[in-house]
Amino acid sequence: MLTFDMFFQQAPIGIAITQGYDPQGSDAAIVMINPEYEEITGRKKEELISLGLARITHPDDLEGYRENLRRLQTGESRAFSMKKRYLKPDGSDVWVLVTVAPLTLSEDQQGTYICLAVDVSECKAIEAALQESERSKEVFLSHLPGLAYRCNFDENWTMQYVSDGCFNLTGYPPESLLNNRDLSYYDIIVPEYREAVQQEWERIVATGQPFKYEYEIITASGEKKWVLELGQAVFNADGEVEALEGIVLDISDCKAIEDTLKYTIEHDRWTGLYNREYLITVLERDLREKKETKKALIGINLNMIQLLAVNYGFQHSQNLIKKAAETLSQYSSDKCLLFRPRENRFVFYLTDYQDKKELVDFSADVVKTLEALFVSERIGGGIGIVEIEPDQDDVDVLLRRLLVASERFVGSFGRDFKICFYDGELERLVNRERDIVEALNKITVDYDTRDELYLVYQPVVDLKKGAVVGFEALARLKTEKLGPVSPQEFIPLAEKTKLIIPLGEKIIVQALGFLNKLKEEGYDDLSILLNISIIQLLHPDFPERLLALIKRMQVDPRNIGIEITESVFANDYESVNKILEELRTAGIYIAIDDFGTGYSSLTREKEMMADCIKIDKYFADELVEADLDRAITCDIISMAHKLGHETIAEGVEQLVQLRYLKRHSCDKVQGYLISKPLSEGEAIKFLEEGNWPVGLKP
């Protein structure tokens, strides 16, 4: 279309394309008109479109003009040429040679005509050319960026006629192709396309359809050009093919634009790898063709890179992704395509491999490469593998499975890369996780689910007082479909889906309600410790909503404590500390949970807005199995006291642990030696009975 517009605008003859002539010779609507036509008639395009060509024709020439139009419309003539005069706006006239013919290059152009006009007083050369042409279509085609032809329907396409455009297109003069004098047109076609072009001609001759095909030719200089051939078969009275007629257009520029557009559509702009859209296209094609070869997807999840963007900026993380793309590209081949379907993910599509071991070995090599690449960045990721079954036909299911497998261990192994196959066991786990999330969703919107999400309370004992000073509230989940669900299972899912925010609020309301029950029973000075997720803590309105709940339920903030794991400080130390300071100012007790197993820094520890350090169960277990003289639990207690923090030891289950902790001045303890987690009724009964283990009383 670009080449047509260029020729149309720059042609040295006037060209008008009209539509709608009728047998009475009425004027037609002008669809397009070029600048040369305006020059010849002395009128602007808008005026010509408004008046039409018949109204500016000299009255003495009008009858003959209309008769020619009638003969053309009724089919008595295929085209006509005539000399006539056009009236200019100043009253003068100009003699022109006009040629009118149907424009029938394609089916959708029926009823469209082309009118060529030449000023015969100034363009003798063009007039001669027009007089030699019986069909205006040939005149039009002679100006196209290509060649027009008439040839035999044989294996060499022996040329009977070749237009002058042959030289510009092929580098060969037209006469060199006539009757195969120097070479045949068949010789010019790139060898890999010859058979296909021949077969397409045979097909359209048999069906009587127009010919349209793109292929490459080799010019006289050895250059390759993309061409578009449009043509048709000419049949004699007996229905036999008399010749082939058509045009061959240079579409190299258009093809380059098309290739650029295709590359843009199929490739990721940042890395140059194939993108998600092309991955889907390839998978859909291969699943549809049902090829009998092994196929598998290997997904690489680098979401941990997002953590680096917080500290070093987005550009740093994107440069790492680009470096990873360049490194992983070394594994690409015809049977191992590499894609970047999402921001921090890569996918290998492997075909025709031997067995599962080959997939594992390949993935292991990729892991080694990535670990070497990211050794200084301290990040890991997940590798998911999905083998494609022969009857698989759903691309969305495949990509979902790949996502699940690659995400399975992300964040669980620190700097490591863990490989996970999608199989029946993982399917079961995924389905269970879906059921758990579904149950949690139901709980967030249904207020009548207290029996499903409920709290138990583990007593916290002050070793100096020898008395219970509070309870840690522990969330539990139990549904009819799932049965009991471990907190280690549903809490991470609640955090991942952000359901921890509405669920956490329900938990807080239940815990505060229990605190009011304790108050009613006369236990005014007991406190409740609430486990708070980093997702909750960093939510913009968390402090405001927590304090509002405390006020609404008429609870003293000094009877409330929150526990956060030590690792939360690794996310955003300043923001976390600022929130804790706000809560402490309101009177809420702050405890750092799982101390000694997560993010530790003595400098930061001293600056933490915390009242208490909870010593992880790991260090309590050491007191049973290790040499007590070599245990470092006492050092943790001493360090915490020097930093101004209280200490609570978790997981106390044996007397030897209790005695050690008491001897080394641990402030508080909790664990099965004192009591298992209790329901509300059991907790109140426990307080009433006061059955302490031996050695607990001061």
Q: In this structure, are residues 346 and 381 in contact, taking their beta carbons and an 8 Å threshold?
A: no
- The Cα–Cα gap between 453 and 439 comes to 10
Please write the tens of the pLDDT for every residue from 435-466: 999 999 998 887 566 678 999 999 999 999 88
133 pLDDT more than 70? no
User: Which residue has tokens 């509300």?
Assistant: 680
Look at residue 329 and tell me whether its pLDDT is greater than 50. yes
pLDDT, residue 406, reads: 85
- Which is the CATH superfamily of the domain at 267-422? Reverse transcriptase/Diguanylate cyclase domain (3.30.70.270)
According to the model, what pLDDT value does residue 136 have? Answer: 53
How much of the chain, in percent, has pLDDT values that exceed 70?
A: 87
Domains of the chain, residue spans:
2-135, 146-256, 267-422, 435-687
Residues 6+ apart with CB under 8 A from 396: none
pLDDT at 389: 87
pLDDT at 563: 93
Q: Do domains 2-135 and 146-256 have the same CATH topology?
A: yes
- pLDDT, tens digit (0-9, with 9 covering 90-100), for 53-67: 888 999 999 999 888
* 175: number of Cβ within 10 Å: 12
| Superfamily of the domain at 435-687 | EAL domain (3.20.20.450)
What is the structure's pLDDT at 471?
97
Nearest to 51 by CA among 16, 11, 83, 14: 16
Which segment of 240-249, 376-385, 474-483 scores lowest on mean pLDDT?
376-385
Q: Which of 192-206, 567-581, 631-645 has the lowest mean pLDDT?
A: 567-581
pLDDT reported for residue 78: 86
Give the mean pLDDT of 527-536.
Answer: 92
Q: Which pLDDT value is given to residue 105?
A: 56
Q: Would you tell me the crossing angle of helices 252-266 and 2-10 to the nearest 10 degrees?
A: 140
Q: Given pLDDT bands bounded at 50, 70 and 90, which one contains residue 413?
A: very low
Mean pLDDT of 225-233: 91
Give Cα 288 distance to the centre of its chain.
Answer: 22
Three-state DSSP at 184 gives: coil
Output the 3-class SS for 58-125. CHHHHHHHHHHHHHHHHCCCCCEEEEEEEECCCCCEEEEEEEEEECCCCHHHCCEEEEEEEECCCCHH
How far is it, in rounded angstroms, from Cα 245 to Cα 137?
Answer: 12
Q: What is the pLDDT of residue 412?
A: 45
pLDDT of residue 635: 86
| CA-based max dimension of the chain | 131
Listed ranges 68-72, 243-247, 299-303, 606-610; the one with the highest mean pLDDT: 243-247
Share the mean pLDDT of the chain. 85
pLDDT of residue 257: 81
pLDDT at position 649: 92
Read off the pTM: 0.55
Alpha helices in 586-650 (DSSP H): 602-607, 617-625, 633-642
User: Contact at 8 Å (CB) between 622 and 652?
Assistant: no
- The pLDDT score that the predictor gives to residue 25 is 46
Superfamily of domain 2-135: PAS domain (3.30.450.20)
Q: What's the token pair of residue 448?
A: 């009548």
- 233, with CB counted inside 10 A (0-12, 13-18, 19+), is buried
- Overall average pLDDT of the 571-600 stretch: 80
CATH number of 146-256: 3.30.450.20
Coil, strand or helix at 330: helix
Single-letter amino acid, residue 465? K
pLDDT at 137: 55
| Residue 98: HSE in the Cβ half-sphere, 13 Å Cα cutoff | 27
